[in-house]
Structure 1
C-alpha cells in the first residue's frame, strides 16, 4: 500500500476543480463529448481497432467508414454505450458487483459476440505477449467472487487512484471473459475514479507498450508501483481539458 502523500498533487488538483463546481452546463457538455471520443478511440486502438480518431468521431455520429469492418464500428458504438452506463453508475454511486461487471462487458461485446457477452469464460486463455497466465476457467467464478469482496472491503482503504489502478489490474489478471477484458478493465478503473470525483484516466494508444509491461510486472511479481504511477499520470492529464475549458492555466503552465 502506498502512502497517500504520493497522491498529494492529484488531491490538490481535485480540490481546485471541486472549487469550480458546479461547472456551467455548456462546459460540461463539451467536456463530455471530448471525453467520450478520446476514451473510445484510445481504448479501442489499444486493442487493435484501426479507426483513426476522426473516423471514430464519424462512427459515433452513425456514419459507416468505407473499408473498415463491421466489428470495428460496433466496438465504437458499444464503447460509447458502456461509457453512458458508467456515467449512470457514477451518478448512483453504484458499488462494484457481478451485475455491474457483466452488464458493462455485455455492452462491450454486443453484436460482436453475443454468446459470450456478459458470461464468464468456460475455456482457458493465454494473454498474447504476457508472461502471466490467467487462472484455469473452472476457478474464474471463485476468483471473481474474491475479487469483488476485496474491491468492496480491503480496497476501500486505498487512495482512489491506487484503488482504481488495482481494480483494473486484479480484474484483468483473472481475465474472466474470453474477449473484451481490457476495455472492461479500463471502464471499471474509470468508474472507480469518477465515483471518487477524479477525472477519467485515459491510457493513450501511444502508451500501449508501457501499459502492458507495467501490468505484466504487477501480475507476475505483485509490484504495482509502475502501473499505479502510469495511472496517476493519466489521471493528472485528465485534468487538462477542464483547465482549458474553464480558461485556466494548467499546473505545468503555472510552473513555467
Structure 2
C-alpha cells in the first residue's frame, strides 16, 4: 500500500516515465548505448554486492570476451552469466510472459551456469542460515509450497504500484532463499523483470548502498515493513530514468 510519504516519489517516477514513453520510439543507437550502459552497471553492481572483485572497467572487458589477469575463473563466469541472465529476462519481457517457477529456475540456472551446474536451477535440498539476517529461511521441505505461494501472491498483486510490487516480490523471494547460492542476483533479476515488464528501466542497486540494502531487506523480512526496500528501489529506478532523460535532453530544469 502506497504511504503518503512515498506518494510524491512514485508520482515523480511516473511523470518521468511518461516523458520517456512520449519520446518513444527512441533513436536506435541511443537505445543501444543506454541498454549497454545499464546492462554493464547492473552486472557490475549486482555481482559486487555479492563479493565479486571485478571493477566496472574489468567487468566491461570480460563481457567483451577478454580475460582479466589475477581474477578467478568464477568471477569471470559471474559476469558473463549475469549478462546472459539479463538477455533471458529481456526475452521473456519482450514476449510479455507471466512470472512462473519455471522462469525463476531458468534465471537461476543462467546465474550459476558452469559455477555450480549441480545446483543451477534446483531448489536447495538442505537447510541454510543467512549470516547477519534476523530471519531463517524456511525448511527445504517447505520450498515447493513457499514458491507456489509466492507465485499466487504475485498473481494477486496487480493493483500495487509496480515499484512497490517489484520491491515486495524481491523481498519475498529473498526471504524464501530457495537456492543454496545465487539468491541475491536472481532476486534482483526478478525485481527488474517486474519493472521492465511494466516499461520501467531496471533498478540498479549500487555496491555502495549494500549496507542500506541489506538493512532494509532484513527489516522487511523480519517485520513485514517494506518501506525501506521500496524507497531504495524507487531511488534506483529514478537514477535509471534520469540517465535516459539526460541522454535524450528531456531532463526537467
- TM-score normalised by L of structure 1: 0.95
2:146 is matched with 143
2:2 is matched with 2
1:211 is matched with 213
1:229 is matched with 231
CA distance in 1: counterparts of 2:219 and 2:106, whole angstroms: 29
CA distance in 2: counterparts of 1:199 and 1:233, whole angstroms: 12
Structure 1 residue 248 displacement after superposition: 3.1
2:100 is matched with 97
The 5 A counterparts of 1:89-168 are 89-153=92-156, 155-168=157-170
Alignment length (residue pairs): 250
CA distance in 1: counterparts of 2:250 and 2:20, whole angstroms: 10
- Superposed CA deviations along residues 168-225 of structure 1, whole A, max 9, x for unmatched, are 0000000000000000000000000001011100000000000000000000001111
CA distance in 1: counterparts of 2:20 and 2:133, whole angstroms: 38
Does structure 1 residue 69 correspond to structure 2 residue 78? no
CA contact (8 A) 2:52 2:75 kept: yes
- Superposed CA deviations along residues 116-149 of structure 1, whole A, max 9, x for unmatched, are 1000001111112111111111111110000011
Structure 1 residue 5 displacement after superposition: 3.7
CA distance in 2: counterparts of 1:228 and 1:56, whole angstroms: 28
2:28 is matched with 25
- Give the SS at the match of 1:156: coil
- TM-score normalised by L of structure 2: 0.97
1:50 is matched with 53
2:174 is matched with 172
The 5 A counterparts of 1:173-192 are 173-192=175-194
CA distance in 2: counterparts of 1:248 and 1:195, whole angstroms: 23
Structure 1 residue 78 displacement after superposition: 0.1
CA distance in 1: counterparts of 2:62 and 2:88, whole angstroms: 19
Structure 1 residue 244 displacement after superposition: 2.4
Q: CA RMSD in A?
A: 1.1
- Give the SS at the match of 2:158: helix
| Contiguous gaps of at least 5 residues in structure 2 | none
CA contact (8 A) 2:85 2:107 kept: yes
CA contact (8 A) 2:19 2:250 kept: no
CA distance in 2: counterparts of 1:247 and 1:88, whole angstroms: 28
CA distance in 1: counterparts of 2:212 and 2:128, whole angstroms: 22
Moved over 2 A (4+): 3-6
CA contact (8 A) 2:175 2:221 kept: yes
CA contact (8 A) 2:150 2:173 kept: yes
